[in-house]
Amino acid sequence: MKTIKQQLDTSTECDSSNDANIEASLPAALSIEQRAALLDELIEIVEHIDHARDLQTIGGLPTLLHLLEDPSALLRAKAAEVVATCAQNNPPVQKVCFHVGGVLWVSVCDQAYMQQEMGLR
């Protein structure tokens, strides 16, 4: 789980970096499909309530919340699914999500998705 978080963090840093020196020092960025596969794997892992708490403990929720802002709708959806799976019937993770703004971000993503689906702007 820690490896997946590190790969997602590194890939996100590459996407948001404008400095060529920083990009050269990081491993090649993962493709959207590779990041989506990592998130699928993470969804399976965090279905176990203890692993969901572990993800929160290693600082995985901020990584997921950052992915909720990704330009890719696929990554936003997968990240939201991981957050929802972690928070499901898990008060300690729900509390952390609430404090770091996860509930707000998932609500915003849901509203944006619904507007897009209904053709609203």
Q: Match 């590190």 to its residue by tokens.
A: 6
Number of domains in the chain: 1
Which residue matches tokens 């936003």? 76
**Parent domain of 30:** 2-118
Mean per-residue pLDDT for 19-35?
60
Q: Cβ–Cβ contacts within 10 Å for residue 48, how many?
A: 11
**Cβ-proximal residues to 96 (8 Å cutoff; 6+ apart), any chain:** 56, 61, 102
Instruction: Tell me the three state secondary structure of residue 17.
Output: coil
Residue 99: is its pLDDT beyond 80?
A: no
* pLDDT of 36: 93
Listed in sequence order, the DSSP H helices in 17-101 are: 20-25, 32-46, 49-57, 60-67, 73-87, 91-100
Gap between the Cα atoms of 80 and 67, Å rounded = 9
Which two tokens mark 16? 């948001």
Going by pLDDT thresholds of 50, 70 and 90, the confidence category of residue 77 is confident
pLDDT in tens, 2-20: 888 888 887 655 544 443 3
> Taking a C-beta distance cutoff of 8 angstroms, is the pair 27, 10 a contact?
yes
SS3 32: helix
Beta carbons within 8 Å of 33's beta carbon, 6+ residues apart: none
Taking all residues of the chain, what is their mean pLDDT, rounded to a whole number? 75
Residue 103: pLDDT over 60: no
pLDDT on residue 117: 58
pTM of the model: 0.68
